[in-house]
């Protein structure tokens, strides 16, 4: 397949991961060319959304950080796991035990957390202590109807130059101990991608997803019918290009390179109006 | 099947778990009847071994504890994971990174731990910190040929009256993050049970295994051809009696009840000499 085959179909919308695409985790600066790329997308009038499994920051904090880094974004353009998970547990009347980062605990303060029958595990980082994991296990073990919700299922991410464990391994630990499967709210969960598509009112085949996570971003997007583009920034590693199951539609240096292509092509991206 | 069907074949040897069978984890006293049961086995001249995934104590410490609790045992009767793992890595020249309990770290002091190409994960308890798990992940991630060894794969055990996570969930976390399978040295690994059988010079169908772990003890023993007996002490829970895949050959109140039956039966247990 040609390297540019992914450009042959119209692109009417763009989904992007944030960490590793707009900035490197743990670094307080934008990835080269990324602020310009977002400006170009907005000038070209191509709808876009950010879709992130970030669960160490609230939407407001993340929006604030992006502005500090020079990004011109709106809070409503950021699709996050925590609001989606809150809606899920409210609709089904679950009372959560939180194994999440202290930064996002306040977001759940209006949820009934008494006598929990549900564990919500996010990227808790230093909060992943033996004691906290034992408590989460007890909630699952004491009630066979209690459920495990994982905010994404990423394996690892890059922080201060090192790879560190993401939520996925800890969800896997609780799955193994409690003999049940986590409900994944976040990438690569299909429902989460569909929420973003609905928000843009676009079909999967009209949208490309750009991310640094071969499985969570690229594989997840492809599984709902989007094109998946891998950037060589963030947690990208050379080995990702030979991944056993996921083959990206394109692999690019960074966000700038892919957005350059999208906005500069001979306008196959304008809406094709009904005849 | 009759409840006593497991007694119809000769029993020429007995394997027993320690924690949850001889004493409750975290409690400094023997389980009622268990010291007497061991005395009865020895008087009846039935060979026995203790087989344990205990990786918070050395063999010497465990032997010392059993004596304090009133057990008349010999160190050589205790089959443990750590010596088996040490033999394994020595034979194959692996250099371990240790994610184990501080008590057993000294047992590895004569192993080359420079530039590790192998992670050994045991029941590290409070040593299961985010930082230590990240370090273990790096060893696996930085070298695709590095291996993960799990000292048993228990899900949880009882300590001070509460269930706490065992090594298994943390091995599962590292398996998920590093996309490789752990080599299990310990129960329910078949090799580990075979080591114990070899030590007694008995065949699997001549031996019963007694434990409180439906999967690790009962299922593991049955998978090599032994009879597996579940005791209602230790981490036993009522739900174990309806386990989806493992059906014990018998379920008994405690060690005493099963040993009573074994020693008091109409001597089908004496060796059947060749004609």
3-state SS record for chain A = CCCCHHHCCCCCEEEECCECCCECCCCCCECCCHHHHHHHHHHCCCCEEEEECCCCCCHHHHHHHHHHCCCCCCHHHEEEHHHHHHHHHHHCCCCEEEECCHHHHHHHCCCCCCCCCEEEECCCHHHCCHHHHHHHHHHHHCCCCCEEEECCCCCEEEECCEEEECHHHHHHHHHHHHCCCCEECCCCCHHHHHHHHHHHCCCHHHEEEEECCHHHHHHHHHHCCCEEEEECCCCCCHHHHHCCCCCCCEEECCHHHHHHHHHHCCCCCCCCCCC
- Mean pLDDT to the nearest integer, B131-158: 95
pLDDT band, residue B275 (cuts 50/70/90): very low
pLDDT band, residue B26 (cuts 50/70/90): confident
pLDDT tens digit string along B160-195?
A: 888 999 999 999 999 999 999 999 999 999 889 998
Q: Which of residues 155-174 of B touch A (CB under 8 A)?
A: 155-156, 162-165, 168-170, 172-174
CA distances from A249 to A192, A220, A229, A269 (A): 20, 13, 6, 17
Which member of B134, B156, B174 has the closest CB to residue A164?
Answer: B134
pLDDT tens digit string along B119-140?
A: 999 999 999 999 999 999 999 9
- Mean pLDDT to the nearest integer, B24-40: 92
Q: What is the largest CA-CA distance in chain B?
A: 63
Does pLDDT of B269 surpass 70?
A: no
pLDDT tens digit string along B224-233?
A: 999 999 999 9
Task: Output the CA torsion sign for A104, A105, A107, A112.
Answer: positive
Tokens of A239: 């080995």
B chain contacts of residue A26, beta-carbon cutoff 8 Å: none
Give the model's pLDDT for residue A261: 94
Tokens of A166: 């993401």
Per-chain mean pLDDT for chain A: 92
Report CB contact under 8 Å: B126, A128. Answer: no
Reported ipTM: 0.80
Selection from A142, A148, A155 nearest residue A174 by Cα: A148
Query: B26 CA to chain A: closest CA distance, Å?
Result: 16
């Amino acid at each position: 397949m040609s390297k540019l085959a992914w450009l042959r179909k119209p692109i009417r919308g763009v989904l992007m991961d944030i960490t590793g695409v707009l900035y490197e985790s743990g670094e307080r600066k934008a990835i080269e060319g990324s602020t310009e790329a977002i400006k170009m997308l907005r000038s070209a009038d191509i709808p876009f959304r950010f879709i992130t499994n970030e669960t160490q920051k609230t939407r407001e904090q993340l929006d604030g950080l992006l502005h500090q880094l020079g990004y011109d974004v709106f809070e409503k353009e950021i699709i996050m796991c925590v609001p989606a998970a809150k809606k899920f547990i409210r609709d089904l009347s679950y009372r959560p035990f939180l194994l999440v980062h202290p930064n996002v605990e306040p977001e759940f303060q209006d949820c009934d957390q008494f006598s929990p029958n549900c564990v919500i595990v996010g990227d808790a980082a230093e909060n992943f202590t033996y004691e906290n994991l034992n408590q989460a296990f007890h909630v699952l073990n004491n009630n066979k109807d209690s459920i495990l919700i994982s905010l994404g299922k990423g394996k690892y991410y890059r922080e201060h130059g090192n790879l560190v464990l993401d939520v996925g391994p800890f969800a896997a630990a609780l799955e193994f101990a409690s003999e049940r499967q986590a409900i994944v709210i976040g990438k690569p969960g299909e429902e989460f991608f569909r929420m973003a598509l609905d928000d843009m009112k676009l079909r999967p085949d009209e949208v490309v997803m750009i991310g640094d996570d071969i499985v969570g971003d690229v594989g997840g997007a492809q599984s709902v019918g989007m094109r998946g583009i891998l950037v060589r920034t963030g947690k990208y590693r050379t080995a990702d290009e030979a991944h056993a199951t996921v083959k990206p539609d394109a692999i690019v240096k960074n966000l700038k390179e892919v957005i350059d292509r999208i906005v500069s092509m001979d306008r196959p991206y304008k809406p094709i109006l009904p005849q």
